[in-house]
């Protein structure tokens, strides 16, 4: 057997190989990885839009508290426009800010532009789109090399929270995923603008 010192001298003095096998293998791995990422990303958004289509395929999608939210949003719209005296005589806005109004104001704004059933579809479709997308943003922030974990969110889209009509909680979950992901990406370099943006997202 060749002594260890002789082996070291042999390998150190051996000329560099001009074989491109390793280089080609590395390029092949990169191509396969890029193909997988493109396929995985495409598959993710196919499932996202499939869920959105399920909402759009129904004329009305009933939830427990949903009709009440739309009724309140309609009242808010009339209070803004001042075109319904009965609403103005019975209701008025609170003088102090109260929580859980985001969903109502979004629905009221949509009803200023669209009919009620169209506003409902836009609102539900937005929830079904941004909920998985925000979770994917979080996964890409924490584990960018393991984005297939973002598929784990799909069983929770048609959740009890949504069927109960807890729209404000659904919106809050979307912002929570975005906030955590944004903080994770920028925690080591938070300047004034990023801190301000994070504060707005948290609010």
What is the rounded distance in angstroms from the CA atom of residue 104 to the CA atom of residue 75? 10
Structurally, the chain folds into a number of domains equal to 1
What is the rounded distance in angstroms from the CA atom of residue 78 to the CA atom of residue 108? 9
What is the rounded distance in angstroms from the CA atom of residue 143 to the CA atom of residue 126? 25
The lowest-confidence range among 93-107, 112-126, 156-170 is: 93-107
Does residue 166 lie in a domain region?
Answer: yes
Q: Range of 75's domain?
A: 53-202
What is the rounded distance in angstroms from the CA atom of residue 196 to the CA atom of residue 142? 22
Does residue 110 lie in a domain region?
Answer: yes
Does residue 30 lie in a domain region?
Answer: no
Which residues touch 24 (CB under 8 Å, ≥6 apart)? none
What is the rounded distance in angstroms from the CA atom of residue 188 to the CA atom of residue 203? 22
pLDDT for residue 135: 97
* pLDDT of 75 higher than 80: yes
**How is 77-125 classified by DSSP, letter by letter?**
HHHHHT--HHHHHH----SS--SS-HHHHHHHHHHHHS-HHHHHHHHHH
Does residue 147 lie in a domain region?
Answer: yes
What is the rounded distance in angstroms from the CA atom of residue 74 to the CA atom of residue 165? 16
Task: Give the mean model confidence (pLDDT) for residues 113-138.
Answer: 95
The lowest-confidence range among 52-61, 92-101, 112-121, 158-167 is: 92-101
Does residue 20 lie in a domain region?
Answer: no
pLDDT for residue 9: 46
Per-residue pLDDT reduced to its tens digit, 153-171: 999 999 999 999 999 999 9
Helices 116-142, 167-186: axis angle to 10 degrees equals 30
Share above pLDDT 70 across residues of the chain, in percent, rounded to a whole number:
84
What is the rounded distance in angstroms from the CA atom of residue 79 to the CA atom of residue 202? 28
Task: Give the mean model confidence (pLDDT) for residues 10-26.
Answer: 55
Distances in whole angstroms, Cα of residue 127 to Cα of each of 88, 96, 110, 121, 124:
31, 28, 14, 10, 5
Does residue 194 lie in a domain region?
Answer: yes
pLDDT for residue 25: 72
pLDDT for residue 30: 67
Q: How confident is the model at residue 78 (pLDDT cuts 50, 70, 90)?
A: very high
pLDDT for residue 32: 67
Mean pLDDT in the chain?
85
Per-residue pLDDT reduced to its tens digit, 31-69: 666 666 678 899 999 999 999 999 999 888 889 999 999
């Amino acid at each position: 057997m060749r002594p260890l010192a002789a082996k070291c001298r042999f390998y150190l003095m051996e000329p560099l190989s001009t074989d491109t096998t390793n280089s080609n293998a590395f390029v092949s791995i990169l191509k396969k990885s890029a193909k997988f990422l493109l396929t995985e990303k495409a598959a993710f958004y196919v499932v996202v839009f499939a869920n959105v289509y399920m909402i759009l395929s129904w004329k009305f999608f009933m939830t427990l508290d949903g009709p009440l939210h739309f009724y309140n949003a309609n009242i808010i719209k009339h209070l803004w426009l001042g075109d319904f005296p009965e609403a103005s005589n019975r209701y008025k806005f609170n003088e102090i800010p109260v929580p859980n109004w985001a969903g109502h104001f979004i629905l009221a704004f949509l009803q200023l532009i669209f009919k009620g059933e169209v506003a409902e579809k836009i609102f539900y479709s937005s929830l079904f789109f941004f909920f998985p997308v925000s979770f994917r943003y979080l996964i890409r922030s924490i584990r960018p090399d393991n984005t297939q974990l973002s598929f784990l969110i799909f069983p929770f889209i048609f959740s009890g929270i949504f069927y109960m009509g807890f729209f404000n909680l659904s919106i809050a979950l979307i912002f929570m995923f975005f906030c955590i992901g944004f903080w994770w990406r920028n925690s080591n370099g938070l300047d004034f603008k990023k801190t301000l943006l994070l504060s707005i997202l948290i609010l």
